Amino acid sequence: MLFEDIGQGAQARTLVVEDSDWAQLTRADAMRLTTLFLAARRFEEKILQLDKLNLVHGPAHSSIGQEGGAAGCIAALPIGTLMNGTHRAHHQCVAKAINALYDEGMDPAASGLSLRMRQEMQGLMHEILGLKDGWTGGRGGSMHLRRAELGIMGTNAIVAGGIPIACGHAFAEKQRASGKLMVTFFGDGAVHQGATHEAMNLAALYGLPMIFFLENNKYAVSMSVEQSTFQTELLTRPQAHGIEAVKVDGMNPFAVWLATRWAQAHIEREGRPAFILAEVYRYYHQSSSIPGSAFGYRTREEENAWKARDPWLFLQRELTARGILDADALAAIDATVTDAVEAAAASCVEGTGSATRIRAELWPAASSVDDHLTSDMREFDGARFAEAEDFHPDDMESLSYIEAMARTMGARMAEDERIYVFGEDVANMGGGTVGATRGLTQTYADRLVNTPITENGFCGLATGAALSGLRPVVELMYSDFFLVAGDQLLNQAGKIRHLFNGTASVPLVLRTRIPGAEGYGSQHSMDPAGVFALFPGWRIVAPSNAFDYVGLMNSALRCQDPVLVIEPQELHKHKTLVPKDLDYCIPIGRAKRVSEGDQITLLATLSMVDRCRQIALETGVRADIIDLRTLSQRDIDYDTIGRSVMKTGRVAIVEQTTRGASLGALIADEIQRRYFDYLDQPVQRVTGRWAPPTVSQALERAALADEDDLRTLIAGMLRDSALDHSQGNVHALRA
């Protein structure tokens, strides 16, 4: 047998510092590097002190020992660089905040830290302690830190959760040709997450200007690298994705500084991402001031060996020995940093020793708990809201649902260069898999972005791009695929505005297709509304015809919140009159009465709207039929529903989806709470069965609600109503 070498495009290497390299580090660079390192170290030490006093609510993941990686990286990069990170991020955020405010020519040894630096350090301290004057009002605490004006785009409590989002920030900066870099920090535990690999693939595929910075501290909580993976050389991961990578001693901040300069030059020269693996060591356990040896997963000998390599000892030794900074300058920097940290802590607390307490007036008001779940909708000021009856027939044309999808997207893309469409095959086959981008592939070839089959990755990228000011539209080939991207869509995009106290918005549109009775089986046929409705940061719109699709999509593209647009394939060929200019919005949160009656209220969604009308006409039932159109719980139009219930006294919620995925139970509960006194009988529901639809045509039909289910329910409700009325007359005669 003969095996031929296939070759490898990307190199993985180790950086070795030579004496001649030190000539690159000027006194000014050394002061910056030292200041960033000490700011991180002293800040972390103070956080641990406060934690021992039980003043830090929740975890406080210490990075003491591994600050040399973050300080060396950030000190080497332009102050406008963007960054995000994971839950162990105090050191990164302190270093980035100080660097973002570090003026050229600054001499912290002589003049100390600036007032703004001290203020930001205080804001970060308040944030970690959960106080109202923190960076995001105390909502983020220790793990979720954001200060966009300083380039800190948000850290993440989900291991690897921020890495796809970092790709989105880098994508946006590349499209704007801003020249800014994005750095995403993560630990060795994240290397095994699928999100990391999806992100690296996307960054390499799209040539994104970003640095993947791995702080390999050898342990994910207590799991060593050797316990976590067979292939312990972690540089093989970026190499597999075609990303140039370098390993560096993270206990040597200068070596990290050199590695970062290499990465920056590589990105600028090649237009491709870079990967840095810094070997570091955290001196304490996962989230405490207790060493890991106390828990038995590492030895004191190992810890002592790494402590002998403390980056602070290294800086003091090397900078003085090489005549770059003297001991007095180092002491002066240490003193000014320590003073700023002590002042930040003092601004939060009162009392001393075990009697130290958070100052009561600094807590956020309990009444603000629901603030900033979603936008206040000011983005709709000046919008043209309209319904079909507002247009003259001569101004309308007949469009199918699928034609409206493509035409609306084209009209809005012509007006707004921030709109990008992401998804599998969206730029192929002359309009994607169903024709939703038909006619757009030539005009907007650079803004229709084919993605690999990596829903978690490209949904995260879209989230980051939205955070950076683009307006991404994500097409999921089938709605069930959102489950693959559940973290990025539900845990990230849907929570970000509230988590960061309104300082961030995610104007992302997610288009999802429901095939209906097309034989795609249970893994392709889910109505996602019931799941997305559980997350109050999402808006959900459900257009039942082409006119509504245009108006609701226009609103979705205007909204500053993530919006789920549900697109039933069953409706794709249905035609409706639509204004030729396609320039109108339908308010998010407004239902539509499509038929008026006084016997029964039918609240319908999607393809069941027309079915309700057909059955009402067929049976002669005087039904008040309301197309809900908006399905996010806080946006459901209960005013319109209430007026109908007060008139008819009976209501049924009509959905095609299966019983377990139905949103109707939540709506029924709310109706009975609001309008119980007006109901003549309990709220009823039409849904499919409990089982999801399978490929068998017979079982698929049985699983989804149909006309027979609707007829049976209406007949039963009206029969019960007549019986109640008859019994009421008998009771009256007897009286």
- Checking if the pLDDT of 710 tops 80, the result is yes
CA separation for the pair 187, 551 (Å, rounded): 45
State the pLDDT at residue 7: 65
Give the pLDDT confidence of 391-421 residue by residue, as tens digits.
Answer: 999 999 999 999 999 999 999 999 999 999 9
Percent of the chain with pLDDT over 70: 97
Specify the CATH number of the domain 593-721: 3.40.50.920
Three-state secondary structure readout of 53-87 = CCCCCCCCCCCCCCHHHHHHHHHCCCCCCEEEECC
> Superfamily for 30-361?
Thiamin diphosphate (ThDP)-binding fold, Pyr/PP domains (3.40.50.970)
d(CA 135, CA 123): 5
Annotated catalytic residue, options 91, 169, 498, 524:
524
pLDDT tens digits along 615-645 = 999 999 999 999 999 999 999 999 999 999 9
Which of 486-490, 505-509, 723-727 is predicted least confidently?
723-727
Helix (H) / strand (E) containing 723: helix 707-734
Burial of 12-30, coded b for 16+ CB within 10 Å and e otherwise, reads beebebeeeeeeebeeeeb
Mean pLDDT to the nearest integer, 649-653: 97
Cα separation of 731 and 516, whole Å?
48
What CA–CA distance (Å, rounded) separates 332 from 537? Answer: 47
What are the tokens at 567?
């697109």
Residue range 378-579 in CATH 3.40.50.970? yes
Q: Are 374 and 497 in contact (CB under 8 A)?
A: yes
d(CA 382, CA 585): 11
Least trusted range by pLDDT, from 275-289, 552-566, 720-734: 720-734
Computed over every residue of the chain, the mean pLDDT equals 94
Nearest to 150 by CA among 117, 199, 125: 117
For residue 712, pLDDT beyond 70: yes
Q: Could you tell me the maximum CA-CA distance found in the chain, to the nearest angstrom?
A: 109
Angstrom distances, CA of residue 447 to CA of 406, 442, 501: 14, 10, 31
C-alpha pair distances (Å), 266 with each of 71, 164, 246, 270, 655: 20, 21, 12, 6, 55
Q: Supply the DSSP symbol for 309.
A: T
pLDDT at 733 over 80: no
Query: What's the sign of the alpha-carbon dihedral 156, 162, 168, 172?
Result: positive
Cα four-point dihedral sign 184, 186, 191, 194? negative
pLDDT at 235: 93
pLDDT attached to residue 84: 98
The domain segmentation of the chain, as residue ranges, is 30-361, 378-579, 593-721
In three state form, how does the secondary structure of 351-371 look?
CCHHHCEECHHHCCCHHHCCC
Q: Which residues of 672-702 are buried (b: 16+ CB within 10 A; e: fewer)?
A: eeebeebbeeebbbbbbeeebbbeeeeebee
Q: Which residues on adjacent β-strands are paired with residue 249?
A: 279
- Fold match flag (378-579 vs 593-721): yes
Per-residue pLDDT at 734: 31
Closest CA to 264 of 237, 250, 244, 239: 244
pLDDT in tens, 376-389: 999 999 999 999 99
For the question of residue 524 being annotated catalytic, the response is yes
Residues 6+ apart with CB under 8 A from 153: 82, 83, 84, 146, 165, 166, 169, 464, 467, 468
Q: Minimal CA–CA distance to 403: which of 550, 588, 566? A: 550
Q: Does the pLDDT of residue 731 top 90, yes or no?
A: no
Non-local (6+) Cβ contacts of 254 within 8 A are 17, 21, 22, 25, 33, 72, 318
